[in-house]
A and B are shown apart, each in its own frame.
Chain A
């Protein structure tokens, strides 16, 4: 039987460690954050993820010094032994139904994180920070939605 553990490292971030007789497997929080970010971007209607604002960063300084949050490109995650929580800021395309897109993002994050790490995502907080209007892109060439 495997043994799961979430440990705080010296740097204050947590890591998920799964031990077996063969050896330990450790999954960094950053990996969970990245999976959640990719899962969000897979949804049609999600234009991009936004990094945390300067204010958020400063206000969250204490948390990053002493706490346990990992951030990857606009996604912040908290990881426990079996569960995880995800916060993200997104830009959606103009014309989409935001609650429906948000639901799809949540479902995809939950499924992907579950499939790839075995973690159960208990909470996904989504902030729609901006809308993307197609006219905005006329000046700049169309970017690929999924990188």
Chain B
């Protein structure tokens, strides 16, 4: 018997995990056509930063900020030194960022050992009947929603956002109109890194802090990016919603592993039958409605 509340919480959890795993990667890919294969390591850095700060006595919210800040710095360095040389070479930038990720993972192992002691999960659990669910993980769905809304506002309502979107649309024209495209790319990459760091920071209390922890997020991140389609924020949201509900349903009925399999299966279907991705469906619908109303 499926408990409705339990299923709902599981959905929120999945939604949060998928959205937060993907958002940093999706923004960088959507804006710069660069796949940052060090994405997992950025998440790891955010987690490590947060854990180290928290273990040193810093209150959790501040520790999370620390984690994010450290990741942003790493992202900035990476972009200025390596990424900027590889803008027109998407496959090469994949290999290069992968190389960096390798070095970072092993570097973390060398410097910090095989694991760090984890921080406890705050807020305890909600109990309902004979079930209980971690309040923290449910609340992360709220954070995920805030991140999506925040990103939307930044990219549509701020000066920066408008300039950034102009750069994606047509970098040459944007540059001719005085937009410093290089700065745009750097800023975008730093934002993407910050979001990845945030993910690591947020999930740090719930996971084992090991150098390879970033790879736990990769499948969801890549799948969301690939099925999302060309509209970054819409795609990530839809992916989180669709894949999250499938994952929650099957996990609830058959266990976490089957949940993941179901998620992948649906992703395969989307890839096969929806060439424009999930956001493509919405964009098509919108266009068709416009056409009909003309």
Whether both chains belong to one complex is answered with no
- Which positions in A face B, CB cutoff 8 Å? none
- Which positions in B face A, CB cutoff 8 Å? none
